């Protein structure tokens, strides 16, 4: 296994495709089943990944105590607090939270959480350095095996920051009307980044299809049409489509938010195959992780 982490941005420039669910479940699976040292980064201003991975009590405490977050990482310092009368140097341990989820390998999964004021802080900033996250990973996170970045569904400085930090891009997509509306935007966004950063290698590791309830298994006309459109666009762009797919199940988001959820239906049967296909595609190996 490489002595540097594999960094993946989970993104689609279309909302509601389940990217946070995919990020949370993949992070947990990689830590628990493959024994990888995993960091999840919440770059979405809605902070859904933070709330999914942290317990409700931990996230409430994090907010109430105004603990450092991804906001401070981009700012580059820790602001004055109740026990700190002045700005101070931001240590990596200040912003990384251990994920406590009972049966999971707790020491192997950490998260850099987001706050709801993330967007406002960036908008009000005079200048945001897009390489901040990449530099942080280069300086402090080289011991990690896998870093997953949950991205917002809109192109912004956060998107560019995630690209600077990433080797791969994972694109979740749902079989629904306008399912591929974000694909041309993603292609243009990546091409623009590559043009401006010729020394940076970044590629789409794959498209993960999530078959919605309305399209069922793909037997309906809408489902077939949507799946055909996804396949065509992905082929045109040279993007790999993962063989394993997520069938509609309310268990997926419930499982992402609660690792001890009860009956998981399709999710429990499908997810191990999905996760292992993704991890293998980005060059990780369970056998190597166990050595």
Span 258-291, pLDDT tens digits:
887 777 888 888 999 999 999 999 999 874 444 4
Taking the C-alpha atoms of residue 286 and residue 31, their distance in angstroms, rounded to an integer, is 10
Q: What residues form DSSP beta bridges with 172?
A: 208
Taking the C-alpha atoms of residue 29 and residue 25, their distance in angstroms, rounded to an integer, is 6
Among 167, 233, 244, 183, residue whose Cα is nearest residue 17 = 183
Q: Where are the alpha helices (DSSP H) in 114-215?
A: 118-124, 132-140, 157-165, 183-196
User: Half-sphere exposure of 189 toward its Cβ, with a 13 Å CA cutoff?
Assistant: 24
Predicted TM-score (pTM) of this structure:
0.91
**CATH number of 6-290, picked from 3.40.50.300, 3.40.50.1110, 3.40.50.720, 3.30.390.30:** 3.40.50.300
Mean pLDDT (the chain, rounded): 86
190 pLDDT band, cuts 50/70/90, is: very high
Residue 220's pLDDT is what? 57
Q: What is the pLDDT of residues 53-68, one digit of tens each?
A: 998 888 999 998 888 8
Q: Strand 6-10 vs strand 146-150: parallel, antiparallel, or unpaired?
A: parallel
Give the contacts of 275 (CB within 8 A, at least 6 positions apart): 25, 26, 29, 30, 33
More confident residue, 127 or 176: 176
């Amino acid at each position: 296994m490489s002595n540097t982490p594999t960094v993946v941005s989970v993104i689609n420039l279309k909302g509601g495709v389940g990217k946070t669910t995919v990020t949370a479940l993949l992070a947990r699976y990689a830590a628990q089943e493959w024994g990888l040292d995993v960091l999840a980064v919440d770059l979405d201003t809605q902070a859904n990944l933070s709330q999914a991975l942290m317990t409700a009590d931990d996230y409430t405490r994090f907010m109430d105590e105004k603990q450092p977050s991804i906001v401070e990482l981009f700012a580059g310092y820790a602001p004055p607090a109740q026990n700190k009368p002045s700005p101070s140097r931001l240590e990596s341990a200040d912003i990384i939270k251990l994920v406590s989820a009972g049966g999971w390998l707790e020491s192997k999964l950490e998260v850099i959480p987001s706050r709801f004021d993330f967007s406002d802080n960036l908008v009000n900033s005079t200048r945001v350095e897009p390489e901040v996250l990449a530099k942080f990973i280069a300086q402090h996170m080289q011991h990690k095996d896998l870093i997953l970045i949950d991205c917002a569904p809109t192109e912004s400085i956060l998107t560019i920051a995630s690209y600077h930090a990433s080797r791969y891009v994972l694109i979740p997509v749902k079989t629904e009307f306008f399912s591929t509306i974000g694909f041309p935007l993603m292609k243009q966004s990546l091409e623009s980044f590559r043009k401006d950063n010729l020394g940076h290698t970044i590629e789409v590791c794959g498209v993960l299809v999530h078959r919605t309830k309305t399209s069922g298994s793909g037997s309906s006309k809408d489902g077939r049409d949507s799946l055909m459109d996804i396949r065509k666009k992905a082929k045109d762009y040279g993007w790999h489509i993962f063989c394993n797919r997520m069938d509609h199940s309310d268990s997926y988001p419930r499982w992402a938010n609660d690792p001890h959820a009860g009956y998981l239906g399709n999710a429990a049967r499908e997810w191990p195959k999905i996760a292992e296909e993704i991890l293998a595609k980005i060059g990780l190996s369970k056998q190597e992780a166990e050595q």
